[in-house]
Each structure stands twice: as C-alpha cells, then as structure tokens.
Amino acid sequence: MPKRSSSLAGRLMAAQLLVIGAGGISLVVAATLIAPRQFRTHLALAGENAPEVTKHAEAAFSSAFSASLAVALVAALTTAAVVSWFLVRQVTRPVEELARAADSIAAGEYRVAVPSAGLGSELGRLSDAFIHMTGRLSDADAARSRLLADLAHELRTPLATLEAYIDGMEDGVVPEDAASWSTMRGQVARLHRLATDLREVASAEEHTLVSALRPTSVDEVCDAAIASARPRYQAGGVALTFVGPARMPEVLADAGRLHQVLVNLLDNALRHTADGGHVELRAGVVGSRVRLALSDDGEGIPRDQLDAVFERFHRVDPARVVADGGSGLGLTIARAIVADHGGTLVADSDGPGHGATFTIELPAAP
C-alpha cells in the first residue's frame, strides 16, 4: 500500500507559517539594520553630538524599539496564525467532507450528505457539481435496478411458454404440428424484438440513435410510414387515413429514425384499436413548428398514466403483455428519438374507451 501523504490542512498551515516566519525575520533584520542608522542621523541633524547624550539616547531608543518590535511581532504572528488556521479549516473542511462522500459513493451508497459551499465560488461550484453528480448516479442506479427487474419480468413469459411447449412435446402432450411450431417461433421472435429494442433504448439513453440531421420532407416520411403500416391495418380491420396540407415545411431530421417513430406509434395504435376502428394521422404547422398528431378511437389511456406510457415496459393493461406482442419499449424509444430532434412527444386521452392521441412537435427547418 502506498504511503499516505500528509493532509492538505497540514501542508497549507505549514506553508502559511513559513510565510509568516519569513516575513517576521525580514522585518526584524530590516528594522535592526535601518532604524539605528536613521536615529543617529536624526540626532546629528538636531545638533546633538555629546557622546554621553548620544549613547544614552541610542540605548533608550534600542530598548524601546526592541520592546515595541517584540510586542508587535508577537501580536502580528498570533493574529496571522489564527487567521491562517481559520482559512485553512474553511478550505479543507468541505474538501474532507467531499472526500468522505466520494468514499461512500464508491461503496455504492448514494444517499450521502454533500457539504454546502465553502469559502469561495470555486468550492461552491465543486460542491454543486458533486451534488448534481450524486443525483445522476442515484437515478442511474435506480434505473438500472428497475430495468433489470422489468427485463426479468418480460423474459419470464416467452421463456415459460417455450419451456412448456418443449416439455409438452417431449411428453407427447403437445402435438408437433404447425400451430405449435408457429407459437414457439412467435415467442422466439418476441425475444429477438425485445433484445433489439433493449439495444436501441441503451443507444437512446446515450443519445447515439440519431445521426446527422438533414432537411427532410415530412410528407414523404408520413407517406412511407403509412404505406408500411397499411397491410397490417387492413389485416386487422382498422381504417387508416392521413390528413394534411398540400405541402408541409421540411424539418431537420434523421429520416430513418423519424420513420421509425411514426411506425412505432402506428403499431401501438393498431394494437389498441379494435376491428372496425379508425386511426388518423394529421399533419399541420403551429408557428415555427411542425405538428404530427396520431389519433385512434381505441381503448384510451387513464389520465394518470399519460406520461407513464413512455416509461420502459409500461402497459396500461398488464394482461395484454402476451396478447399484443409488443416489447413495451416502442414509446420509450420514440420519445427519445423525438427529443434528440429537439422536439416533443406527448400523449392525450379522455380516459379508457375514448381513444388516445399522440402528438409530435418538431422545429421546422430554416
């Protein structure tokens, strides 16, 4: 183990004492060399040349000067030492507390008392930055724990289904027919989709999903997204329409990622809209921003869950986890992509049974 160096307080105090000592010695030497000569010069200028008077006056001056200098030095050194000790404590105390807090954080304890600002704006900024870092680390650790718990829950259902089918086939209870193989392939596809979405969520949190932003035609992105989703809508018996002006302003966007957002929203609307329902994508301009609103007349969302639907693995109805086949990450990824474009994605609904609307707003390209 490397030898621990002396404390910051000890070093600062030693440096202060060295400066004080050097100043005191310099004062004594300068006063001893200069003051007597100046006194004799002034006696001569006053016309006092008697040896005995001069000797007595110099002795009196030397005695008084030495006593005054000693008292002044003691007072000055004591005051300087006290002030230096106070300043050293003011500087080192928050540093020591930050060091203890850092040790606690390194041990995995994020709920630590971070010291307030010390002497000077620099220590204040250090303290504020440390508090911000502690909060971010705590949030990241909580998010990691929550993600692991959610992931374990999401993996349990497809793995249990695969295990049940494999055991049933081995025991001869489940027939090895096309329906069984189709169910198993569906669960494998769900696991694959979950792994892909998890990778994209991680990239979204690191802000690496969106590449270079270029002027992009909103009309073309909307047309492409609707064209890719229309076969699924036709198979599900849900009508899909697009309403917008003849020509929309361009936006600075990664066209592929913006297309992914719309596809995710369209798939989400289809999963929550019954046969015979209707989904509408409406485009428009609000000030300097482009607005895309996707509305459905499906299941709707409770008012207290309008923001929670964008959280990882959140489902309004947990019972749909098997039926809808989604990974529970589509809306999370969609909001992260929109945010990286400088836009917003919000949900609105009048409650269960009244449908829902997801609204994207993006800044129009200059």
What's the confidence (pLDDT) of residue 61?
A: 66
What's the confidence (pLDDT) of residue 322?
A: 45
Percent of the chain topping pLDDT 90? 27
pLDDT at 145 over 60: yes
pLDDT at 158 over 90: no
**Where does the pLDDT of residue 238 fall: very low under 50, low under 70, confident under 90, or very high at 90 and above?**
very high
254-267 tens-digit pLDDT? 999 999 999 999 99
Which among 346, 347, 326 has a CA at the least distance from the CA of 193? 326
- Whether the CB-CB separation of 263 and 358 falls below 8 Å is answered with no
The model scores a pTM over 0.85: no
Across all residues in the chain, what is the average pLDDT? 80
Cβ neighbourhood burial of 155 (10 Å; 0-12, 13-18, 19+): middle
CA distances from 81 to 24, 84, 91, 201, 310 (A): 12, 5, 15, 58, 60
314-328 tens-digit pLDDT? 766 655 544 455 567
Give the DSSP H or E segment for 253: strand 250-253
What's the confidence (pLDDT) of residue 1?
A: 43
How far is Cα 253 from Cα 258, in angstroms, rounded to an integer?
Answer: 7
What's the confidence (pLDDT) of residue 122?
A: 67
pLDDT at 53 over 70: no
How far is Cα 255 from Cα 266, in angstroms, rounded to an integer?
Answer: 16
What's the confidence (pLDDT) of residue 58?
A: 65
255-298 tens-digit pLDDT? 999 999 999 999 999 989 999 999 999 999 998 899 999 999 99
Residue 104, C-beta contacts closer than 8 angstroms, at least 6 positions apart: 112
Please compute the mean of the pLDDT values over residues 108-117 and round it to a whole number: 68
